Structures are given as structure tokens and as C-alpha cells.
Structure 1
């Protein structure tokens, strides 16, 4: 009887261990996504790409186009307000940088 209960325990334990990375991946992604710190305009990579939190502040920049905002850029990640150019930080949806490229569709 002890062997069957040990066998059952091991099977359930192995299943739990196998499922753990899947659950942790979902939870971790959501937890990190909600807590991205905002990108500062003074950050070196933000300065390099002329990032501003308010797109109108960049209207004098030669690369600026009307209605070009972070939230309609191909690099913007709507679920986290993140940007693939500024990994680990959130950006303002109505912000702008010189790498803006219209999202397809």
C-alpha cells in the first residue's frame, strides 16, 4: 500500500513540476508588465532617440509627423505601455520619439 501512495505522490509531483513553468510564465509576465517604471526623458537612450512624453513638444523636430504618437507606433506594446526600443520601461501613449514608425493595419 505504501508503494502505491508513494507512486501517486510522485506522479502528482511530477505533473505539478511540469506545469509550474507554464503558470509562472503567465504570472510573471503579467506581474512585470503592470509594474514597468516610466521612461525618463533624461535617460541616455531616451535622449538619443529624442523621446518626449508629450508629442507636441517634438513638433519642431524634422522627423515629427502630425498624429505620430507612441500608441500608434509599431514598437509600442499596448498591454504594458512598453516599447521594444526602451526595454524594461513604459512610455507615454501620447509620447513620441524619432524612431516612430506607423503600426501596420
Structure 2
């Protein structure tokens, strides 16, 4: 018999983790419902998002360094082979080989 405040690990993950703001990392279904980010989206344009980091003009974006791409960024969470989510673009998928000026 469980005590009054005992919960199973599953109950904790399903009910308390999302309340702590960590649910986005534990709900892959949300990522599967996301659509790819349009490079013409106003926020994507403001951050100079591109789906191919090899196409970035280093003269235009001096912070860009060869080898930087979304997949190596701290804001990126992989969801599949070549796409993932970014905390800057909620509800959208970004290309793993993409880049934007918010790269970290």
C-alpha cells in the first residue's frame, strides 16, 4: 500500500515534469506535429535562418564559423534524421544542417 503522497515514476513524469517546464523534452508527439520552418517566416528572416549552413555568407554574418549548424547549437533538440526543434521557433522544425544568427 502506498502512502498518501507516494506517486509512481510514471505519474511523476506525466503530471509533475510538465508543470516544471521540462515537458517539452519528454513529449516527442509535440515535435511530430510540428511543420518545417519557412525561411520566409518573419522571425526566421530576422535571424537570417537558412536550411543549409554551407550557404551562409561569412562576410555578411561575421559570427558564423565553418562547422556551425543547428545540430551543434545548444538551442537544438533532434527529432529525426535531418530535422529537430529549436527553442526559438516553437512548433516548427529546423534543418539539422541549418544556421541562424542565434547560434550558440
Query: Shorter-chain TM-score: which interval?
Result: 0.5 to 0.7
Structure 1 residue runs of 4 or more that deviate by more than 3 Å after TM superposition:
none
Q: Does 1:88 align with 2:91?
A: yes
CA RMSD of aligned residues (A): 2.4
- The answer to whether structure 1 residue 22 and structure 2 residue 25 are counterparts is no
> 1:22 deviation in Å?
2.5
Aligned residues: 80
> Could you tell me which residue of structure 1 aligns to residue 66 of structure 2?
66
For residue 27 of structure 2, give the secondary structure of its aligned residue in structure 1.
helix
TM-score (norm 2): 0.67
- CA-CA distance at 1:76 after TM superposition: 0.3
Q: In structure 1, what is the equivalent of residue 44 of structure 2? A: 46
C-alpha deviations, 1:37-94, integer Å up to 9, x for none?
Answer: 0001000000010000000111332221110000000000123600001111110000
Unaligned residue ranges in structure 2 (runs of 5+)? 1-10
Q: Within 1, Cα distance between the matches of 2:14 and 2:77?
A: 22
Tell me the equivalent position of 1:79: 79
Bigger Rg, which one: 1
Tell me the CA shift for residue 35 of structure 1: 2.2
2:28 and 2:79 in contact (8 A); partners too: no
